[in-house]
Chain A
Amino acid sequence: MASRPLAIGAALIAAGLVLALVLGPVAAVLARAGGWGALGPGDWQALRFTLWQSLLSATFSVALAIPVARALARRRFPGRGLLISLLGAPFILPTIVAVLGLIAVFGQNGLINGSLRALGLPGFSVYGLHGVVLAHVFFNLPLATRLLLQGWLAIPAERFRLAVSLGLSPRAMFRTLELPMLLRIAPGAGAVIFVICLSSFAVALTLGGGPRATTVELAIYQAVRFDFDLGRAALLSMIQLGLALAAGLVALRLGTGGGFGAGLDRLVTRWDGRAGLPRVMDAVWIGLAALFLLTPLGMVVARGLPGLAQLGAGSWAAAWNSLTVALASTLLCLAWALPLSSRWGEWVGLVGLAVSPLVLGTGLFLIVRPFANPLSLALPVTTLVNALVALPFALRILRPEAEAVRADYARLAQALGLTPLAWVRLVLLPRLRRPLGFAAGLTAALSIGDLGVIALFADPERATLPLQVYRLMGSYQMEAAAGAALLLLIFSFGAFWLCDRGGRANADA
């Protein structure tokens, strides 16, 4: 096997780079942060808004997920497997694409306002707190549903059999079997979603804004881009860091145990809920959830198709940038993940998740500025941050399999005296082909769809595709924006599909 000292050396180098690239920017932020007096009332408002919208988003996501997960756990219908797979899709769906889809449904000229107008009823605006929460629920309802569905499917079938033979009423059944599970899983699921929403940037950028709907992440961006007040940006970054760490630790403690949810296609046979009303209610919940998740995507496709023809040179250049950045950050992420695919390596990877992209970006901005124009480094910095952010997910996918390969073949390789290079080339990489493909697909899709650091760094000449969509929206070129969004959607799902497929093809046992 890769002779041990060499493997350990590679792991240490990788870990050192990750830690330096995360802690360096954090140190820069801490060093640059101004006194608390630098914060204006708007900044405190941003802090309050961040907490409030996260709380609302987490509550609604989990509350709505309960009936949906329950329905999915106990009903069998055609397309059930597909629907459950689709619940994983928002993870790689570019935020800006979802936002455009939501605007197409809930916006001023969207489906719902259009219908209201036709009926002579007053319309509503999608911008502000409710828009931000709506988008967060769109992203996190599927996640909550998957986590709860896992909980439901983990209740042993024998318990349901026992309950039915005891003749428990539906109420008693809920209280003895399902409520305890919900009390165990739901707080953890809520905490995870709360943490995710705390560092919401792209959604707040597009649907929030203004003094009353600004998150801390958005305030950082505004302090850098509009006020060029780096001291205040650093201070806000510190607040964001504290928030994320505190909430992250709580979420870690509560834990949900859920990974990527293997085996969700199982169905628990139950004897309750066979009456007419529960059946209808389950069908309604599943139908509403599917409608809520699929209509915006359908609208992106419908509105994007005519827009594809209007894509200008700027959009194609941005598309090219996005693909290069995604390719580079995928390679970087995997180069990090391979040597770190061990228990302690996974902890190192989590560090990258604890620090939000905008905080990382601000820190890097501060570090780079004395030496170079940060704006000219927009793409390399985006590549780096994207790789760091995807690293924990790549490690979660790779670690179990990498450990299995080592457990199974390290002795044989040692007995043969395989050189380190031969071990990596002939054993490790081929054996890890499937999880590598999956991890690469996830990283590439996340990177292609990312709208975060790039907004902080980009000048008018440089853009990635998500930023280009945002700019087109900002200049009210909605047709072109829809076309670029469709292209973005195709890229991110296509990249995921290609990599994942590549890992599976001819991957024999």
Chain B
Amino acid sequence: MLTLENMRYTDGDYSLSADLCLAPGRRVAIIGPSGAGKSTLLDLIAGFLTPKAGRLLWQGQDITATPPDRRPVAMLFQENNLFPHLSLARNLGLALRPGGGRLTAAEGRKLESALERVGLGGLSSRKPGALSGGQQSRAALARVLLQARPILALDEPFAALGPALKVQMLDLVQEVAGELGALVLLVSHDPQDARRFAEETVLVAEGLAHPPVETRALFDAPPEALRAYLGQ
């Protein structure tokens, strides 16, 4: 269970509160108007921001003060998910060896099979610049696969892709997360993503992250805040 216990974050006039639980292995969308704090919520969970009050717990363990790399979270950012001057092999290798050391033969095979899993087999010597946008997203997913963390946080990483490609990528995320048994948190401004992808949805609006609701039920009978966001 990922528990946000009476968590509150403030920065100047801005404030965000959350008091909710997310179950392992679920696919959760985080939607809401821009500026409401979707990415802030993700940053709090991933450890890039520290809450002013409250606690963050994973399986009952307090991880409020744990640095990002020691949290059970792997994150895909909006951009810059790969170092452009390093080959895919080097980029992905860093997920296994953060000191930049050489991989063992077994680790090398693991890396190759992660690339194959996302459809990039044999491209490990390429640099990101030599790949298409969709391929770069796939490579970043392969990195997440290698990190093998129980929570997968996605901060609109496919926003720059076309609609068809985005659907493909979300399907791939679903498969990868299923294999890892990971809890997926998908930040999106597109309600369609939530409907297609997420079992549950967290609505972030007016300084509050609402507890997760089953996605279909939420959209069938949207509460006031969601109606305002959807323009209904």
Contact = CB atoms under 8 A, between A and B. Distances in A.
Interface residues of B, number: 26
Task: Give chain A's interface secondary structure class.
Answer: helix
Contacts of B86: 426, 430
Interface-central residue, A417, A421, A425, A431, by most chain B CB under 10 Å:
A417
Contact of A422 (B75, B77, B98): B98
Given A430-B85, A509-B84, A414 B69 contact: yes
A427 B100 CA distance: 10
A418 interface: yes
Interface stretch (A11-19, A248-256, A340-348, A404-412): A404-412
A409 B99 CA distance: 16
A422 to B, nearest CB: 4
Nearest to B155: A411
A419 B85 contact: no
Given A417-B68, A418-B100, A509 B129 contact: yes
Interface string B122-160: 000001010000000000000000010000000000000
Given A417-B98, A422-B100, A412 B69 contact: no
A118 interface: no
Given A408-B80, A415-B46, A508 B100 contact: no
A412 B77 contact: yes
Given A412-B80, A415-B75, A417-B69, A508 B98 contact: no
A411 B157 CA distance: 14
Contacts of A508: 84-85, 127, 129
B14 interface: no
Nearest to B127: A508
Contacts of A418: 94, 98-100
Interface in A350-409: 408-409
Interface string B51-87: 0000000000000000111100111010011011110
Interface residues of A, number: 20
A425 B86 CA distance: 12
B232 to A, nearest CB: 35
A416 interface: yes
A415 B69 contact: yes
Contacts of A431: 83, 85
A505 to B, nearest CB: 13
A439 to B, nearest CB: 18
B172 to A, nearest CB: 20
Contacts of B85: 430-431, 508-509
B69 A416 contact: yes
Contacts of B70: 417
Contacts of A415: 46, 68-69, 73-75
B129 A411 contact: no
Contacts of B84: 508-509
Contacts of B94: 416, 418, 422, 426
B99 A419 contact: yes
B95 interface: yes
Contacts of A419: 98-100
Nearest to A430: B85
Interface in B79-127: 80-81, 83-86, 90, 94-95, 98-100, 127
Nearest to A412: B80
A176 B185 CA distance: 59
Contacts of A425: 100
A419 to B, nearest CB: 5
A411 B95 contact: no
A431 B70 CA distance: 26
B175 to A, nearest CB: 22
Interface string B24-36: 0000000000000
B139 to A, nearest CB: 13
20 contacts: A408-B80, A411-B77, A412-B80, A414-B67, A414-B68, A415-B69, A416-B69, A417-B70, A417-B98, A418-B100, A419-B98, A419-B99, A422-B99, A422-B100, A426-B83, A426-B86, A426-B100, A508-B84, A508-B129, A509-B129
Interface of A: 3, 408-409, 411-412, 414-419, 421-422, 425-427, 430-431, 508-509
The 6 residue pairs across chains A and B that have the minimum distance between CB atoms: A417-B69, A422-B100, A417-B98, A419-B99, A414-B68, A430-B85
